[in-house]
């Protein structure tokens, strides 16, 4: 017997105090580190009806968080259903471990973080109710004064379930995040780190290198930076960001950054060869290819005409959650909704992934390849 | 005897039909190539009272130019006082030579171009009345439909006087350009090409390489581009631009591009070493330095408190104009106004550069080092 995942019946919930089943019905949250991301998250949660407590190592920052409406009160909340660690990455693992080891807290508390690198934290914290997160938002503003409850609306928010993750904790966190207007992409921590090296870390270091090169040449040629137009300004804008964050990122994601920098250097060497050889054909090819790809990046994916539930009966063994939830992202498929359908005895039995109907066959085939037996049901009303 | 450069007395002009002395009093212009830049220039000149004729190899484009108000009429204008060649770079040298060789045209016609690379054109056209130009504007829009009379307002517009340039032609062109709201930076053609390789050409090729790298990895990892935030979008925006322009640029400016790519690759190799060695101290240093430089790029130079005329009596020999006019840019000094003061007998005798009063001593010292004998006069009213 299963309950229907699209009919949210409170009587079918496992009786959590704060969460209505897997939904993000407002409860009590604790934000540790009330800077830009922590403060924005506090504002967004409070707007959704949550009670938010907050702490920060800087008393001025946490007082600003109260006066700006980012948190309800200063201090720990041992009853928090959700704890978000939004400190610098190098401090987060120890804090997460302390939170999870605190005997006063409910045994259902979900803990997440918001750091830009995920594998290092996961390696230091192996706990079913810690699910790593990374909201891809807010790189330019710094500090609580830039906090904005709309920061996450429309943003991609990566969650990194692991082989030991508690599926219920994952489903709840996912529901909170989507309730803030973000789109969840589930990735393994290693995959996340490899991908952000490509789209964030190495581009950032490249902007820094370009800016530094131009600045050093500007010492000889006073007019150089007066020739810097909108293209150069766009390309180097991120280099104005806060250096300390990037020291953490470089330390924690060094292998993926080095790997990607090597590929970029190879690419630039190939570009140099094309220019030196006046190889217009090869240059034209890569210019065309990149222009097409960049224009594609600007194109919004149109809303799907219809949605399909892909239901996956799963064995109760470790690793299933991570394998199934991270598969759609690898296939480039957006998961519109996600739910766990319990059998009456409380064991989780069926994962439900709601995807665009045009993606359902691809997802089902990939699941079948991995030994699962999904069934698909078209649903009338888009969620 | 000299006339005062700040009192523009029409009776002291050399009798040009279209130019009021060296000022940009409206006359007749011919725009060859009515795309984005040519069309915008036509609009801006017409707004200033010029009569603008235009031609283009594409009949549809030139007809659009008329209907959009970019030109008054289609076709050549043998009486044009100013001819702007705004074709693709690889076609411009031949067209400029033809214009200058046309016996129907006045012997005072000033010819300029708007290409992104300057030394190759200058090498192909050695004529006193051809002054190369490069308005640093309009990289993203393409074609006559994006034409905008305000495109040049506040933009930097490089002029590249050479050792054979006619000083009067230079002064007139400079006056036209500043009359459109642009700020002139005078550079030798070689210096221009070296500097735009740093702030434009290599950044563009880097954006292309980054975009291509990400797109190729996205084939394996479907979710990669969903993680691309505003930083990545900023850094790769220019890669969506029209490839054909960049083939011309790479062909014409290959040596400077290769030189700069090598420096960028060296910089990225050094960055890789810092990350691989977890050298936080060295990383912090370059991150701080680049952040400071990038923030400086965003800072507008405040208006100077006062202006000073630096008057330079000059011998009548080739190369003086290029040497004196390109010196301020090398020193990072903005020239607010420029004029040539004639002696009564018509030979040009004194160059007047109006600069911020705080820059006057630096400029005078640099001129003295080069054997000139400048005098400085503070002027009351900023121009």
Q: Are A143 and A36 in contact (CB under 8 A)?
A: yes
Query: Rounded to two decimals, what is the model's pTM?
Result: 0.81
Residue ranges, chain A, pLDDT below 50: 1-20, 300, 344-345, 382-383
Min Cα distance A131 → chain B (Å) is: 18
> Which residues in B225-259 are b (16+ Cβ under 10 Å) and which e?
bbbbbebbebbbbbbbbebebbbbbbbbbbebbbe
Pairing of the two strands A51-55 and A28-32? parallel
Mutate to test the interface with B, among A210, A283, A292 (most CBs of B within 10 A): A210
B283 and A246 within 8 Å at the Cβ level: the answer is yes
Tell me what pLDDT residue A11 has.
36
Name chain A contacts of B217, Cβ cutoff 8 Å: 195, 198
DSSP secondary structure of A324-348: HHHHHHHTT--EEEEEEEEPTTS-E
Rounded Cα distance between B270 and A72, Å, is 47
The predicted pLDDT at position A290 comes to: 94
3-state secondary structure at position B308:
strand
- Give the nearest partner residue to B204 out of A158, A231, A242, using CB atoms: A231
d(CA B79, CA B143): 27
Per-residue pLDDT, A100:
97
In SS3 terms, A149-181 reads as CCCCCCCEEEEECCCCCCHHHHHHHHHHHHHCC
The tens-digit pLDDT sequence of chain B (383 residues) is 333 333 333 333 333 334 445 555 789 999 999 999 999 999 999 999 999 999 999 999 999 999 999 999 999 999 999 999 999 888 999 999 999 999 999 999 999 999 999 999 999 998 999 999 999 886 556 788 889 998 898 889 999 999 999 988 999 999 999 999 998 999 999 999 999 999 999 999 999 999 999 999 988 887 888 888 888 988 998 898 888 889 999 999 999 999 999 999 999 999 999 999 999 999 999 999 999 998 887 654 555 568 888 988 887 666 788 889 889 888 888 888 888 776 544 556 788 898 988 899 999 999 999 888 898 888 865 44
Q: Cα distance from B93 to chain A (closest Cα, Å)?
A: 19
Chain A closest CA to B54's CA: distance in Å? 27
What's the pLDDT at B9?
Answer: 37
User: Which class is B1-186 in CATH?
Assistant: alpha beta
What is the CATH number that goes with domain A1-187?
3.40.50.720
Mutate which: A247, A297, A333, vs B, most B CBs within 10 A: A297
Q: Measured between CA atoms, how close is A15 to chain B, in angstroms?
A: 35
Beta bridge partners of A83: A30, A111
Rounded to whole angstroms, the Cα distance separating B95 from B81 reads: 16
Give the model's pLDDT for residue B201.
Answer: 96
Per-residue pLDDT at B299: 58
Where along chain B do its domains lie?
1-186, 192-298, 304-383
A211 vs B247, B280, B290: nearest CB: B290
The topology under which CATH files domain B304-383 is: Alpha-Beta Plaits (3.30.70)
**Which chain A residues are within 8 Å of B209, Cβ to Cβ?**
264, 267-268, 271, 286, 290
User: How much is the ipTM here?
Assistant: 0.81
pLDDT at residue A233, rounded to an integer = 87
> For A155-184, what is each residue's pLDDT tens digit?
899 999 999 999 889 999 999 999 999 989
Q: How far apart are CA A312 and CA A171, in angstroms?
A: 15
CATH, range B192-298: 1.10.3660.10
Task: List, as one string, the DSSP characters of B255-292.
Answer: HHHHHHHHHHHHHHHHHHHHHHTT-HHHHHHHHHHHHH
pLDDT at B378: 85
């Amino acid at each position: 017997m299963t309950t229907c995942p699209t009919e949210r019946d409170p009587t079918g919930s496992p009786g959590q105090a704060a969460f209505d089943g897997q939904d993000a019905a407002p409860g009590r949250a604790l934000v540790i580190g009330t800077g830009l991301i922590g403060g924005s998250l506090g504002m967004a949660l409070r707007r959704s009806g949550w009670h938010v407590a907050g702490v920060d190592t800087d008393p001025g920052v946490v007082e600003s968080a109260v006066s700006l409406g980012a948190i309800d009160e200063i201090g720990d909340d041992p009853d928090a259903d959700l704890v978000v660690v939004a400190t610098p990455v190098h401090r987060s693992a120890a804090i997460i471990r302390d939170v999870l080891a605190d005997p006063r807290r409910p045994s259902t508390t979900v803990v997440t973080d918001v750091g830009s690198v995920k594998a290092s934290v996961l390696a230091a914290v192996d706990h079913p109710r810690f699910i790593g997160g990374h909201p891809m938002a807010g790189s330019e503003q710094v500090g609580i004064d830039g906090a904005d409850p709309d920061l996450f609306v429309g943003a991609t928010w990566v969650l990194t379930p692991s082989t030991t993750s508690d599926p219920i904790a994952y489903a709840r966190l996912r529901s909170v995040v989507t309730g803030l207007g973000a789109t969840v992409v589930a990735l393994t921590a290693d995959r996340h780190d490899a991908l952000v090296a490509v789209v964030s870390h190495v581009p950032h270091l490249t902007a820094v290198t370009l800016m530094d090169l131009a600045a050093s040449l500007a010492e000889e040629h006073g007019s150089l930076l007066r020739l810097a137009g909108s293209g150069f300004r766009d390309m180097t804008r991120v280099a104005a960001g806060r250096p300390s964050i990037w020291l953490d990122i470089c330390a924690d994601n060094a292998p993926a950054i080095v790997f990607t920098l090597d590929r970029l250097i190879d690419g630039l060497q190939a570009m140099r060869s094309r220019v030196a050889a006046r190889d217009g054909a090869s240059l034209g090819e890569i210019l065309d290819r990149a222009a097409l790809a960049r224009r594609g990046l600007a194109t919004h994916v149109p809303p799907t005409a219809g949605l399909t539930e892909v239901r996956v009966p799963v064995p109760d063994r470790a690793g299933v959650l991570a394998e199934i939830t991270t598969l759609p992202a690898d296939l480039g498929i957006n998961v519109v909704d996600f739910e766990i359908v319990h059998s009456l005895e409380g064991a989780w039995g069926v994962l439900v992934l709601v995807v665009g109907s045009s993606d359902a066959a691809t997802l089902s085939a990939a699941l079948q390849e991995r030994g699962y037996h999904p069934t698909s049901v078209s649903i009338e009303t888009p969620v």
